[in-house]
């Protein structure tokens, strides 16, 4: 076999292996900066150019407050790269609250959709638009056909999608599809905050975050908190979502600076 043919065969095998793992050989990832989380994800971080699903339980299915907060924290670094489109079913997104999570509201474009079909259609169009880096969509369910369409839209321009599962007006839940085209699926729940030592009142928002499904990776569960504003300035590139502890570990994980010092 000639060198060119063997090289082409090796490249084809690598591409097939990457597709089987749920991604592309040239895909980029966004690390959380916490090895406990990053090692569960393919490429050592949240895969970009794909879409991810965030779900919750109980009343959170109607309000989606915790899931929306975590989605904003995950995507804050991406919003520094381009525009972010948030597709709503109910016009109740509070932009100042996003600012407190380190998400730049000046990059935010809000679109209120009339129904689920329109919300998915707007998401698809936004993901395919030049200059858009992140797209959020509040929808109740995504079937396999809609999920594949979202993934193809992500691949056109390399934008990353975040589907926030929400039933904005209550009612009976739709039957969930047997499968999903999402690259990752996260289950989010609010957790008690803890004020900084010597301070009174509420501390930073905390969440219980479980990675229930991950193509090419593995599952896990952690307690995390919003670590403050995100900055692209030199030497200040910490992810705005910080690991507090593993589920089952009541001890608090050290801050990134403390881990480096150790």
3 inside domain: no
Q: Do residues 136 and 79 lie in contact, with contact meaning Cβ atoms separated by under 8 Å? A: no
User: Structure tokens of 35?
Assistant: 């090895």
**What's the average model confidence in pLDDT over 71-99?**
92
Does some domain include residue 22? Answer: no
Instruction: Tell me the C-alpha distance between 40 and 118, whole Å.
Output: 34
- Could you tell me if residue 200 is inside a domain? yes
Within a domain: residue 12?
no
Strand partners, 163: 53, 137
Separation between Cα atoms, residue 258 and residue 163, nearest integer Å: 34
Print the domain residue range for 146: 27-170+181-261
Residue 89 lies inside a defined structural domain of this protein: yes
Span 119-136, pLDDT tens digits: 999 999 999 999 999 999
Number of separate domains in the chain:
1
- 37-64: pLDDT as tens digits: 999 999 999 999 999 999 999 888 889 9
Question: Is residue 48 included in any domain, yes or no?
Answer: yes
**Among 225, 52, 59, 227, which residue's Cα sits nearest to residue 147?**
52
The answer to whether 47 and 53 are in contact (CB under 8 A) is no
pLDDT of 71 higher than 80:
yes
Does residue 15 sit within a domain?
A: no
* CATH assignment of the domain containing 52: 3.40.50.300
Q: Is residue 71 part of a domain?
A: yes
- Model pLDDT for residues 133-185, shown as the tens digit of each residue: 999 999 999 999 999 999 999 999 999 999 999 998 876 666 665 567 899 99
Burial (CB count <10 Å: 0-12, 13-18, 19+), residue 135: buried
The answer, as to whether pTM is greater than 0.85, is no
Q: Residue 261, class by beta-carbon neighbours within 10 Å (0-12 exposed, 13-18 middle, 19+ buried)?
A: exposed
Give the distance from CA 18 to its chain's centroid: 21
């Amino acid at each position: 076999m000639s060198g060119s043919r063997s090289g082409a065969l090796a490249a084809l095998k690598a591409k097939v292996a990457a597709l089987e793992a749920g991604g592309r050989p040239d895909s980029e990832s966004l690390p959380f900066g916490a090895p406990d989380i990053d090692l569960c994800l393919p490429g050592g971080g949240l895969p970009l150019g794909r879409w991810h699903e965030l779900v919750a339980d109980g009343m959170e299915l109607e309000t989606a407050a915790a899931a929306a907060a975590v989605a904003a924290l995950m995507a804050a670094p991406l919003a520094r790269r381009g525009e972010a489109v948030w597709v709503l079913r109910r016009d109740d997104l509070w932009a100042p609250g996003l600012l407190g999570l380190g998400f730049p509201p000046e990059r935010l474009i809000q679109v209120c959709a009339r129904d689920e079909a329109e919300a998915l259609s707007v998401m698809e169009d936004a993901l395919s638009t030049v200059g858009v880096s992140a797209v959020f969509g509040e929808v109740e369910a995504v079937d396999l056909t809609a999920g594949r369409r979202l993934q193809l839209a992500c691949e056109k321009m390399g934008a990353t999608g975040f589907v926030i599962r929400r039933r904005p007006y209550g009612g009976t839940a739709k039957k969930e599809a047997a499968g999903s085209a999402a690259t990752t699926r996260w289950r989010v729940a609010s957790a008690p905050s803890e004020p900084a030592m010597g301070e009174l009142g509420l501390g930073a928002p905390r969440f219980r975050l479980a990675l229930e499904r991950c193509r090419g990776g593995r599952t896990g569960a952690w307690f995390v908190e919003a670590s403050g504003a995100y900055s692209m300035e030199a030497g200040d590139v910490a992810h705005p979502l910080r690991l507090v502890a593993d589920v089952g570990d009541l001890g608090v994980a050290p801050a990134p600076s403390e881990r480096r010092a150790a």
